[in-house]
Structure 1
Amino acid sequence: MQAEKKAVPRHVAIVMDGNGRWAKARLLPRLIGHQRGVESVRKVIRACNQAGVECLTLFAFSSENWKRPLEEVSGLMSLFMLVLERETAGLIRHNVSMRFIGDRSAFSGSLQDKIAAVEQQTSHCTGMLLLIAANYGGRWDILQAARKLVAKLASGELSAQELTEQALDQELSTFGLPEPDLFIRTGGEQRISNFLLWQLAYTELYFTDKLWPEFDEQALQEAFKAYANRQRRFGMTSEQIQNQQGDVHA
Protein backbone atom coordinates (compact mmCIF):
# COMPACT_ATOMS: atom_id res chain seq x y z
CA MET A 1 0.00 0.00 0.00
CA GLN A 2 1.69 3.15 -1.18
CA ALA A 3 1.50 6.08 1.26
CA GLU A 4 1.51 9.32 -0.67
CA LYS A 5 -0.52 12.47 -1.14
CA LYS A 6 -3.05 12.50 -3.93
CA ALA A 7 -5.25 15.43 -4.82
CA VAL A 8 -8.13 13.22 -5.96
CA PRO A 9 -9.07 10.17 -3.90
CA ARG A 10 -9.80 6.93 -5.73
CA HIS A 11 -12.77 6.09 -3.50
CA VAL A 12 -14.98 8.65 -1.75
CA ALA A 13 -17.61 7.61 0.80
CA ILE A 14 -20.25 10.09 1.96
CA VAL A 15 -22.82 10.22 4.75
CA MET A 16 -25.38 12.69 3.39
CA ASP A 17 -26.68 14.21 6.62
CA GLY A 18 -28.86 17.25 7.22
CA ASN A 19 -31.78 17.00 4.78
CA GLY A 20 -34.38 17.06 7.54
CA ARG A 21 -32.74 19.92 9.43
CA TRP A 22 -32.43 21.92 6.21
CA ALA A 23 -36.18 21.57 5.66
CA LYS A 24 -37.08 22.25 9.30
CA ALA A 25 -35.10 25.51 9.28
CA ARG A 26 -37.30 26.62 6.36
CA LEU A 27 -40.56 25.37 7.93
CA LEU A 28 -40.87 22.72 5.23
CA PRO A 29 -41.72 19.00 5.48
CA ARG A 30 -38.69 16.75 5.96
CA LEU A 31 -39.38 15.01 2.66
CA ILE A 32 -38.81 18.31 0.84
CA GLY A 33 -35.33 18.30 2.34
CA HIS A 34 -34.72 14.82 0.97
CA GLN A 35 -35.93 15.94 -2.44
CA ARG A 36 -33.53 18.88 -2.38
CA GLY A 37 -30.82 16.49 -1.29
CA VAL A 38 -31.22 14.62 -4.58
CA GLU A 39 -29.99 17.75 -6.36
CA SER A 40 -26.79 17.62 -4.28
CA VAL A 41 -26.42 13.94 -5.13
CA ARG A 42 -26.59 14.80 -8.81
CA LYS A 43 -23.98 17.57 -8.45
CA VAL A 44 -21.57 15.41 -6.46
CA ILE A 45 -21.85 12.45 -8.83
CA ARG A 46 -21.08 14.69 -11.78
CA ALA A 47 -18.18 16.44 -10.01
CA CYS A 48 -16.60 13.20 -8.79
CA ASN A 49 -16.91 11.63 -12.22
CA GLN A 50 -15.27 14.64 -13.88
CA ALA A 51 -12.49 14.70 -11.26
CA GLY A 52 -11.53 11.11 -11.95
CA VAL A 53 -12.84 9.45 -8.79
CA GLU A 54 -13.05 5.71 -9.40
CA CYS A 55 -15.74 4.87 -6.85
CA LEU A 56 -18.29 7.01 -5.01
CA THR A 57 -20.23 5.38 -2.17
CA LEU A 58 -23.32 7.16 -0.86
CA PHE A 59 -25.08 6.18 2.37
CA ALA A 60 -28.66 6.48 1.09
CA PHE A 61 -30.57 4.57 3.78
CA SER A 62 -29.15 2.91 6.87
CA SER A 63 -30.54 -0.17 8.59
CA GLU A 64 -31.38 2.14 11.50
CA ASN A 65 -33.45 4.53 9.36
CA TRP A 66 -36.46 2.20 9.56
CA LYS A 67 -36.97 3.69 13.05
CA ARG A 68 -37.98 7.03 11.55
CA PRO A 69 -41.66 8.06 11.29
CA LEU A 70 -43.63 5.80 8.93
CA GLU A 71 -44.63 8.73 6.73
CA GLU A 72 -40.99 9.72 6.20
CA VAL A 73 -39.87 6.16 5.49
CA SER A 74 -42.70 5.68 2.99
CA GLY A 75 -41.80 8.96 1.32
CA LEU A 76 -38.15 7.96 1.11
CA MET A 77 -39.02 4.65 -0.55
CA SER A 78 -41.16 6.47 -3.13
CA LEU A 79 -38.39 9.01 -3.72
CA PHE A 80 -35.88 6.19 -4.07
CA MET A 81 -37.96 4.57 -6.80
CA LEU A 82 -38.51 7.89 -8.58
CA VAL A 83 -34.80 8.74 -8.59
CA LEU A 84 -33.90 5.34 -10.02
CA GLU A 85 -36.45 5.79 -12.80
CA ARG A 86 -35.31 9.30 -13.68
CA GLU A 87 -31.55 9.14 -13.28
CA THR A 88 -30.55 5.85 -14.91
CA ALA A 89 -30.37 7.26 -18.44
CA GLY A 90 -28.09 10.07 -17.24
CA LEU A 91 -25.77 7.62 -15.54
CA ILE A 92 -25.46 5.60 -18.74
CA ARG A 93 -24.85 8.76 -20.75
CA HIS A 94 -21.95 9.65 -18.46
CA ASN A 95 -20.61 6.07 -18.41
CA VAL A 96 -21.33 5.61 -14.67
CA SER A 97 -22.25 2.14 -13.38
CA MET A 98 -24.44 1.73 -10.29
CA ARG A 99 -24.34 -1.02 -7.69
CA PHE A 100 -26.13 -1.46 -4.40
CA ILE A 101 -24.90 -2.84 -1.09
CA GLY A 102 -27.09 -3.71 1.87
CA ASP A 103 -29.93 -6.07 2.73
CA ARG A 104 -32.41 -5.34 -0.03
CA SER A 105 -34.83 -8.08 1.12
CA ALA A 106 -36.63 -5.54 3.35
CA PHE A 107 -37.63 -3.45 0.32
CA SER A 108 -40.81 -3.97 -1.66
CA GLY A 109 -40.68 -6.41 -4.55
CA SER A 110 -41.07 -3.60 -7.07
CA LEU A 111 -38.17 -1.65 -5.57
CA GLN A 112 -35.98 -4.75 -5.50
CA ASP A 113 -36.79 -5.33 -9.17
CA LYS A 114 -35.94 -1.73 -10.02
CA ILE A 115 -32.61 -1.95 -8.17
CA ALA A 116 -31.69 -5.13 -10.07
CA ALA A 117 -32.75 -3.55 -13.36
CA VAL A 118 -30.61 -0.44 -12.84
CA GLU A 119 -27.60 -2.57 -11.93
CA GLN A 120 -28.06 -4.58 -15.11
CA GLN A 121 -28.70 -1.53 -17.32
CA THR A 122 -25.53 0.24 -16.14
CA SER A 123 -23.31 -2.83 -15.85
CA HIS A 124 -21.61 -2.13 -19.21
CA CYS A 125 -20.46 1.35 -18.11
CA THR A 126 -16.71 1.53 -17.58
CA GLY A 127 -16.36 4.92 -15.86
CA MET A 128 -16.94 5.74 -12.23
CA LEU A 129 -18.74 3.21 -10.02
CA LEU A 130 -21.60 4.66 -8.00
CA LEU A 131 -22.15 2.45 -4.96
CA ILE A 132 -25.42 3.01 -3.10
CA ALA A 133 -25.61 1.76 0.48
CA ALA A 134 -29.32 1.08 1.08
CA ASN A 135 -30.63 -0.71 4.17
CA TYR A 136 -26.94 -1.03 4.94
CA GLY A 137 -25.05 -1.16 8.23
CA GLY A 138 -21.37 -1.76 8.84
CA ARG A 139 -22.13 -4.29 11.60
CA TRP A 140 -24.55 -6.10 9.28
CA ASP A 141 -21.85 -6.26 6.62
CA ILE A 142 -19.30 -7.78 9.00
CA LEU A 143 -21.88 -10.18 10.42
CA GLN A 144 -23.02 -11.47 7.04
CA ALA A 145 -19.38 -11.97 6.06
CA ALA A 146 -18.71 -13.85 9.31
CA ARG A 147 -21.69 -16.12 8.71
CA LYS A 148 -20.35 -17.04 5.26
CA LEU A 149 -16.98 -17.85 6.79
CA VAL A 150 -18.60 -20.00 9.50
CA ALA A 151 -20.45 -21.93 6.82
CA LYS A 152 -17.19 -22.51 4.94
CA LEU A 153 -15.51 -23.68 8.14
CA ALA A 154 -18.38 -26.07 8.87
CA SER A 155 -18.26 -27.54 5.36
CA GLY A 156 -14.49 -27.93 5.43
CA GLU A 157 -14.05 -25.50 2.55
CA LEU A 158 -12.00 -23.28 4.87
CA SER A 159 -9.64 -24.22 7.70
CA ALA A 160 -9.12 -22.23 10.90
CA GLN A 161 -5.62 -21.31 9.73
CA GLU A 162 -7.13 -19.79 6.58
CA LEU A 163 -9.42 -17.52 8.60
CA THR A 164 -7.61 -14.25 7.92
CA GLU A 165 -8.45 -10.59 7.40
CA GLN A 166 -8.23 -11.19 3.68
CA ALA A 167 -10.70 -14.08 3.93
CA LEU A 168 -13.21 -11.87 5.71
CA ASP A 169 -12.61 -9.00 3.31
CA GLN A 170 -13.52 -11.30 0.43
CA GLU A 171 -16.99 -11.83 1.93
CA LEU A 172 -17.79 -8.15 2.49
CA SER A 173 -20.21 -6.38 0.17
CA THR A 174 -17.41 -4.12 -1.11
CA PHE A 175 -15.01 -6.91 -2.08
CA GLY A 176 -12.91 -6.04 -5.11
CA LEU A 177 -13.13 -2.29 -4.56
CA PRO A 178 -10.40 -0.04 -3.20
CA GLU A 179 -10.98 0.93 0.42
CA PRO A 180 -12.31 4.49 0.83
CA ASP A 181 -9.58 7.12 0.77
CA LEU A 182 -11.85 9.93 1.90
CA PHE A 183 -14.94 9.83 4.12
CA ILE A 184 -17.15 12.92 4.09
CA ARG A 185 -19.99 13.63 6.49
CA THR A 186 -22.17 16.69 6.14
CA GLY A 187 -24.49 18.21 8.72
CA GLY A 188 -22.03 18.97 11.51
CA GLU A 189 -22.10 15.56 13.21
CA GLN A 190 -18.71 13.89 13.72
CA ARG A 191 -19.32 10.16 13.80
CA ILE A 192 -19.27 7.16 11.46
CA SER A 193 -22.84 6.01 12.22
CA ASN A 194 -22.32 2.33 11.40
CA PHE A 195 -21.09 3.03 7.86
CA LEU A 196 -18.38 0.83 6.27
CA LEU A 197 -16.88 0.05 9.69
CA TRP A 198 -14.34 -2.47 8.40
CA GLN A 199 -13.49 -0.55 5.25
CA LEU A 200 -12.82 2.83 6.94
CA ALA A 201 -9.89 1.58 9.03
CA TYR A 202 -7.35 3.92 7.36
CA THR A 203 -9.68 6.37 5.65
CA GLU A 204 -9.20 10.11 6.02
CA LEU A 205 -12.24 11.61 7.77
CA TYR A 206 -13.67 14.98 6.76
CA PHE A 207 -16.57 16.65 8.55
CA THR A 208 -18.40 19.79 7.44
CA ASP A 209 -21.18 21.84 9.02
CA LYS A 210 -22.86 22.22 5.64
CA LEU A 211 -26.20 20.46 5.47
CA TRP A 212 -26.44 18.02 2.57
CA PRO A 213 -28.75 20.17 0.38
CA GLU A 214 -26.09 22.91 0.66
CA PHE A 215 -23.21 20.64 -0.35
CA ASP A 216 -22.13 21.44 -3.90
CA GLU A 217 -19.15 21.20 -6.24
CA GLN A 218 -17.22 23.89 -4.35
CA ALA A 219 -17.77 22.12 -1.03
CA LEU A 220 -16.53 18.90 -2.60
CA GLN A 221 -13.38 20.63 -3.85
CA GLU A 222 -12.76 21.93 -0.31
CA ALA A 223 -12.92 18.35 0.95
CA PHE A 224 -10.53 17.22 -1.78
CA LYS A 225 -8.14 20.05 -0.88
CA ALA A 226 -8.15 19.00 2.77
CA TYR A 227 -7.52 15.41 1.72
CA ALA A 228 -4.59 16.41 -0.50
CA ASN A 229 -2.91 18.12 2.44
CA ARG A 230 -3.06 15.05 4.66
CA GLN A 231 -0.20 12.60 5.02
CA ARG A 232 -1.49 9.04 4.95
CA ARG A 233 0.90 6.91 7.01
CA PHE A 234 -0.89 3.55 7.29
CA GLY A 235 0.94 2.84 10.56
CA MET A 236 4.34 4.06 9.33
CA THR A 237 6.29 7.12 10.47
CA SER A 238 6.57 10.37 8.53
CA GLU A 239 10.24 9.63 7.93
CA GLN A 240 9.45 6.26 6.40
CA ILE A 241 6.95 7.84 4.04
CA GLN A 242 9.40 10.53 3.01
CA ASN A 243 12.05 7.90 2.31
CA GLN A 244 9.53 5.84 0.35
CA GLN A 245 8.52 8.82 -1.72
CA GLY A 246 12.17 9.63 -2.28
CA ASP A 247 12.73 6.10 -3.61
CA VAL A 248 9.77 6.47 -5.95
CA HIS A 249 11.03 9.74 -7.42
CA ALA A 250 14.71 8.73 -7.52
Structure 2
Amino acid sequence: MSAGTPTAPRARATGTYVTYAVLVLLAVVYVMPFLIQVATSFKTEADAAANPLSLVPTTATAEAYRTLFVDSPLPTWFANSVIVTLFVTTGRVLFCSMAGYALARVPFRGRALAFAVLVAIMAVPNVVLLIPKFLVINQLAIYDSYAGLIIPLLADASAVFIMKGFFESVPASVEEAARIDGAGTFRIFWSVVLPMARPAVMTVIILSFQASWNELNHFIVASQDPDLFNLTKGVAQLASGALSQGTQYPLKLAAALLMTLPVALVFFVFQKRIVNTTTGAVKE
Protein backbone atom coordinates (compact mmCIF):
# COMPACT_ATOMS: atom_id res chain seq x y z
CA MET A 1 0.00 0.00 0.00
CA SER A 2 1.46 3.36 -0.98
CA ALA A 3 1.94 6.11 1.55
CA GLY A 4 -0.31 8.52 -0.34
CA THR A 5 -3.35 6.23 -0.44
CA PRO A 6 -4.99 7.43 2.85
CA THR A 7 -5.11 10.98 1.52
CA ALA A 8 -7.65 10.03 -1.17
CA PRO A 9 -10.59 9.48 1.24
CA ARG A 10 -9.68 12.68 3.09
CA ALA A 11 -9.60 14.62 -0.19
CA ARG A 12 -13.02 13.25 -1.15
CA ALA A 13 -14.40 14.10 2.29
CA THR A 14 -12.99 17.62 2.06
CA GLY A 15 -14.54 18.05 -1.39
CA THR A 16 -17.88 16.84 -0.04
CA TYR A 17 -17.78 19.28 2.88
CA VAL A 18 -16.90 22.17 0.56
CA THR A 19 -19.74 21.24 -1.79
CA TYR A 20 -22.25 21.10 1.08
CA ALA A 21 -20.96 24.39 2.46
CA VAL A 22 -21.47 26.08 -0.91
CA LEU A 23 -24.96 24.59 -1.24
CA VAL A 24 -25.91 25.74 2.27
CA LEU A 25 -24.62 29.23 1.47
CA LEU A 26 -26.65 29.36 -1.74
CA ALA A 27 -29.74 28.12 0.13
CA VAL A 28 -29.33 30.84 2.75
CA VAL A 29 -28.95 33.51 0.06
CA TYR A 30 -32.04 32.18 -1.71
CA VAL A 31 -34.22 31.90 1.41
CA MET A 32 -33.06 35.11 3.14
CA PRO A 33 -35.37 37.51 1.21
CA PHE A 34 -38.37 35.34 2.11
CA LEU A 35 -37.38 35.32 5.80
CA ILE A 36 -36.95 39.11 5.73
CA GLN A 37 -40.38 39.38 4.15
CA VAL A 38 -41.99 37.30 6.91
CA ALA A 39 -40.18 39.15 9.69
CA THR A 40 -40.91 42.62 8.28
CA SER A 41 -44.63 41.85 7.94
CA PHE A 42 -44.76 41.57 11.76
CA LYS A 43 -42.82 44.78 12.42
CA THR A 44 -44.08 48.25 13.17
CA GLU A 45 -43.65 50.95 10.53
CA ALA A 46 -40.79 52.58 12.48
CA ASP A 47 -39.04 49.28 13.17
CA ALA A 48 -39.21 48.25 9.52
CA ALA A 49 -37.70 51.59 8.42
CA ALA A 50 -34.96 51.52 11.05
CA ASN A 51 -34.04 47.81 10.78
CA PRO A 52 -35.14 46.64 7.32
CA LEU A 53 -32.91 43.53 7.26
CA SER A 54 -33.49 42.37 10.82
CA LEU A 55 -35.05 38.90 11.13
CA VAL A 56 -36.40 39.59 14.63
CA PRO A 57 -39.00 42.35 15.09
CA THR A 58 -38.28 44.71 17.96
CA THR A 59 -41.98 44.66 18.79
CA ALA A 60 -43.95 41.92 17.04
CA THR A 61 -47.36 43.03 15.82
CA ALA A 62 -49.98 41.76 13.38
CA GLU A 63 -51.27 45.26 12.60
CA ALA A 64 -50.33 44.94 8.94
CA TYR A 65 -52.51 41.84 8.56
CA ARG A 66 -55.39 43.47 10.45
CA THR A 67 -55.20 46.47 8.12
CA LEU A 68 -55.19 44.23 5.04
CA PHE A 69 -58.19 42.15 6.09
CA VAL A 70 -60.26 44.91 7.71
CA ASP A 71 -59.32 48.21 6.06
CA SER A 72 -58.45 47.13 2.52
CA PRO A 73 -60.14 45.28 -0.36
CA LEU A 74 -57.72 42.35 -0.01
CA PRO A 75 -60.52 39.77 0.61
CA THR A 76 -62.11 40.82 -2.71
CA TRP A 77 -58.75 40.62 -4.48
CA PHE A 78 -58.13 37.18 -3.01
CA ALA A 79 -61.57 35.92 -4.05
CA ASN A 80 -61.07 37.21 -7.59
CA SER A 81 -57.68 35.53 -7.82
CA VAL A 82 -59.15 32.22 -6.64
CA ILE A 83 -62.03 32.35 -9.14
CA VAL A 84 -59.83 33.25 -12.10
CA THR A 85 -57.08 30.79 -11.20
CA LEU A 86 -59.44 27.83 -10.73
CA PHE A 87 -61.20 28.43 -14.06
CA VAL A 88 -57.97 29.10 -15.95
CA THR A 89 -56.16 26.07 -14.51
CA THR A 90 -59.10 23.75 -15.24
CA GLY A 91 -59.50 25.15 -18.74
CA ARG A 92 -55.82 24.85 -19.57
CA VAL A 93 -55.66 21.24 -18.43
CA LEU A 94 -58.69 20.36 -20.54
CA PHE A 95 -58.04 22.35 -23.72
CA CYS A 96 -54.25 22.02 -23.77
CA SER A 97 -54.37 18.26 -23.20
CA MET A 98 -56.87 17.88 -26.05
CA ALA A 99 -54.76 20.05 -28.35
CA GLY A 100 -51.60 18.20 -27.35
CA TYR A 101 -53.19 14.83 -28.09
CA ALA A 102 -54.44 16.04 -31.47
CA LEU A 103 -50.96 17.26 -32.43
CA ALA A 104 -49.33 14.06 -31.19
CA ARG A 105 -51.71 11.34 -32.38
CA VAL A 106 -54.51 12.59 -34.66
CA PRO A 107 -53.46 12.83 -38.33
CA PHE A 108 -54.89 15.91 -40.06
CA ARG A 109 -53.82 18.24 -42.83
CA GLY A 110 -51.63 21.07 -41.60
CA ARG A 111 -50.60 19.40 -38.34
CA ALA A 112 -46.91 20.23 -38.87
CA LEU A 113 -47.79 23.84 -39.65
CA ALA A 114 -49.98 24.07 -36.55
CA PHE A 115 -47.14 22.83 -34.39
CA ALA A 116 -44.71 25.28 -36.01
CA VAL A 117 -47.11 28.14 -35.28
CA LEU A 118 -47.40 26.90 -31.69
CA VAL A 119 -43.62 26.98 -31.23
CA ALA A 120 -43.50 30.45 -32.83
CA ILE A 121 -46.13 31.71 -30.37
CA MET A 122 -43.97 30.53 -27.47
CA ALA A 123 -41.19 32.81 -28.74
CA VAL A 124 -43.36 35.95 -28.78
CA PRO A 125 -43.05 38.10 -25.61
CA ASN A 126 -46.42 38.51 -23.89
CA VAL A 127 -46.01 42.27 -23.65
CA VAL A 128 -46.11 42.50 -27.47
CA LEU A 129 -49.63 41.04 -27.44
CA LEU A 130 -51.11 43.36 -24.82
CA ILE A 131 -52.56 45.97 -27.18
CA PRO A 132 -54.01 43.41 -29.64
CA LYS A 133 -55.40 41.51 -26.66
CA PHE A 134 -57.10 44.67 -25.36
CA LEU A 135 -58.61 45.38 -28.79
CA VAL A 136 -59.99 41.84 -29.07
CA ILE A 137 -61.41 41.86 -25.54
CA ASN A 138 -63.03 45.24 -26.14
CA GLN A 139 -64.44 44.15 -29.51
CA LEU A 140 -65.98 41.03 -27.94
CA ALA A 141 -67.65 43.21 -25.28
CA ILE A 142 -66.11 41.26 -22.41
CA TYR A 143 -64.01 44.11 -21.04
CA ASP A 144 -64.44 44.62 -17.28
CA SER A 145 -65.92 41.17 -16.74
CA TYR A 146 -64.83 37.77 -15.45
CA ALA A 147 -65.09 36.49 -19.02
CA GLY A 148 -62.47 39.02 -20.10
CA LEU A 149 -60.21 37.96 -17.25
CA ILE A 150 -60.56 34.21 -17.86
CA ILE A 151 -61.22 33.37 -21.52
CA PRO A 152 -57.98 34.78 -23.03
CA LEU A 153 -55.95 32.70 -20.54
CA LEU A 154 -57.68 29.36 -21.12
CA ALA A 155 -55.09 28.16 -23.64
CA ASP A 156 -51.33 28.24 -23.34
CA ALA A 157 -48.75 27.23 -25.95
CA SER A 158 -46.29 25.93 -23.37
CA ALA A 159 -48.90 23.63 -21.82
CA VAL A 160 -49.84 22.26 -25.25
CA PHE A 161 -46.15 21.63 -25.95
CA ILE A 162 -45.76 19.73 -22.66
CA MET A 163 -48.83 17.58 -23.25
CA LYS A 164 -47.86 16.82 -26.86
CA GLY A 165 -44.41 15.67 -25.77
CA PHE A 166 -45.84 13.33 -23.15
CA PHE A 167 -48.50 11.85 -25.42
CA GLU A 168 -45.82 11.04 -27.98
CA SER A 169 -44.02 8.98 -25.33
CA VAL A 170 -47.08 6.79 -24.67
CA PRO A 171 -46.74 3.41 -26.44
CA ALA A 172 -48.91 3.27 -29.55
CA SER A 173 -49.85 -0.32 -28.65
CA VAL A 174 -51.96 1.05 -25.78
CA GLU A 175 -54.17 2.97 -28.18
CA GLU A 176 -54.24 0.12 -30.68
CA ALA A 177 -55.51 -2.25 -27.99
CA ALA A 178 -58.27 0.21 -27.03
CA ARG A 179 -59.18 0.74 -30.69
CA ILE A 180 -59.50 -3.04 -31.18
CA ASP A 181 -61.92 -3.06 -28.24
CA GLY A 182 -64.10 -0.57 -30.13
CA ALA A 183 -63.08 2.72 -28.48
CA GLY A 184 -63.20 5.89 -30.56
CA THR A 185 -60.62 8.67 -30.65
CA PHE A 186 -62.11 10.74 -27.84
CA ARG A 187 -62.76 7.66 -25.67
CA ILE A 188 -59.14 6.58 -26.13
CA PHE A 189 -57.96 10.06 -25.17
CA TRP A 190 -60.26 10.49 -22.18
CA SER A 191 -60.31 7.00 -20.69
CA VAL A 192 -56.96 5.51 -21.71
CA VAL A 193 -54.28 8.05 -22.55
CA LEU A 194 -55.19 11.00 -20.31
CA PRO A 195 -55.08 8.95 -17.07
CA MET A 196 -51.60 7.81 -18.10
CA ALA A 197 -50.60 11.44 -18.58
CA ARG A 198 -50.97 12.27 -14.90
CA PRO A 199 -47.33 13.45 -14.57
CA ALA A 200 -47.78 15.92 -17.44
CA VAL A 201 -51.19 16.97 -16.13
CA MET A 202 -49.71 17.69 -12.71
CA THR A 203 -46.97 19.73 -14.32
CA VAL A 204 -49.53 21.74 -16.30
CA ILE A 205 -51.62 22.25 -13.14
CA ILE A 206 -48.66 23.65 -11.22
CA LEU A 207 -47.45 25.88 -14.06
CA SER A 208 -50.96 27.09 -14.91
CA PHE A 209 -51.83 27.82 -11.30
CA GLN A 210 -48.61 29.72 -10.80
CA ALA A 211 -48.91 31.66 -14.06
CA SER A 212 -52.57 32.64 -13.65
CA TRP A 213 -52.18 33.47 -9.95
CA ASN A 214 -49.17 35.73 -10.63
CA GLU A 215 -50.49 37.21 -13.89
CA LEU A 216 -50.53 41.01 -13.98
CA ASN A 217 -50.16 42.36 -17.52
CA HIS A 218 -53.31 40.66 -18.81
CA PHE A 219 -55.43 41.93 -15.93
CA ILE A 220 -54.19 45.47 -16.51
CA VAL A 221 -55.57 45.50 -20.07
CA ALA A 222 -58.65 43.34 -19.35
CA SER A 223 -60.34 45.47 -16.69
CA GLN A 224 -60.25 48.66 -14.69
CA ASP A 225 -63.12 47.96 -12.28
CA PRO A 226 -61.74 47.87 -8.69
CA ASP A 227 -64.21 45.08 -7.89
CA LEU A 228 -62.38 42.88 -10.44
CA PHE A 229 -58.86 43.51 -9.13
CA ASN A 230 -56.92 40.35 -8.33
CA LEU A 231 -54.11 40.02 -5.81
CA THR A 232 -51.28 40.95 -8.16
CA LYS A 233 -53.03 44.08 -9.34
CA GLY A 234 -54.09 44.98 -5.81
CA VAL A 235 -50.63 44.43 -4.34
CA ALA A 236 -49.16 46.53 -7.14
CA GLN A 237 -51.57 49.27 -6.09
CA LEU A 238 -50.44 48.90 -2.48
CA ALA A 239 -46.82 49.19 -3.59
CA SER A 240 -47.67 52.63 -4.99
CA GLY A 241 -48.98 53.73 -1.57
CA ALA A 242 -52.71 53.34 -2.12
CA LEU A 243 -53.85 52.99 1.50
CA SER A 244 -51.84 55.64 3.33
CA GLN A 245 -48.65 57.66 3.32
CA GLY A 246 -45.20 56.41 4.33
CA THR A 247 -43.09 53.45 3.31
CA GLN A 248 -45.71 50.88 4.39
CA TYR A 249 -43.09 48.12 4.36
CA PRO A 250 -44.97 45.82 6.79
CA LEU A 251 -48.23 46.27 4.86
CA LYS A 252 -46.67 45.68 1.44
CA LEU A 253 -44.65 42.63 2.50
CA ALA A 254 -47.60 41.13 4.39
CA ALA A 255 -49.70 41.40 1.22
CA ALA A 256 -46.87 39.89 -0.84
CA LEU A 257 -46.56 37.03 1.65
CA LEU A 258 -50.29 36.26 1.47
CA MET A 259 -50.03 36.27 -2.32
CA THR A 260 -47.04 33.88 -2.26
CA LEU A 261 -48.37 31.23 0.12
CA PRO A 262 -51.01 29.59 -2.16
CA VAL A 263 -48.49 29.07 -4.97
CA ALA A 264 -45.95 27.56 -2.59
CA LEU A 265 -48.63 25.31 -1.07
CA VAL A 266 -49.78 24.00 -4.47
CA PHE A 267 -46.20 23.28 -5.50
CA PHE A 268 -45.36 21.32 -2.33
CA VAL A 269 -48.62 19.36 -2.51
CA PHE A 270 -48.23 18.28 -6.13
CA GLN A 271 -44.48 18.07 -6.65
CA LYS A 272 -44.18 14.44 -5.52
CA ARG A 273 -46.79 13.37 -8.05
CA ILE A 274 -44.69 14.50 -11.00
CA VAL A 275 -43.29 11.06 -11.83
CA ASN A 276 -42.71 10.16 -15.46
CA THR A 277 -43.73 6.51 -15.83
CA THR A 278 -46.00 4.39 -17.99
CA THR A 279 -45.25 1.11 -16.22
CA GLY A 280 -48.04 -1.40 -16.50
CA ALA A 281 -49.73 0.30 -19.42
CA VAL A 282 -49.38 -2.64 -21.80
CA LYS A 283 -50.47 -6.13 -20.94
CA GLU A 284 -48.04 -8.79 -22.05
Question: What band does the TM-score fall into relative to the shorter chain?
Answer: under 0.3
Normalising to structure 2: TM-score of the pair?
0.22
Normalising to structure 1: TM-score of the pair?
0.24
More strand, by proportion? 1
Larger radius of gyration: 2
More helix, by proportion? 2
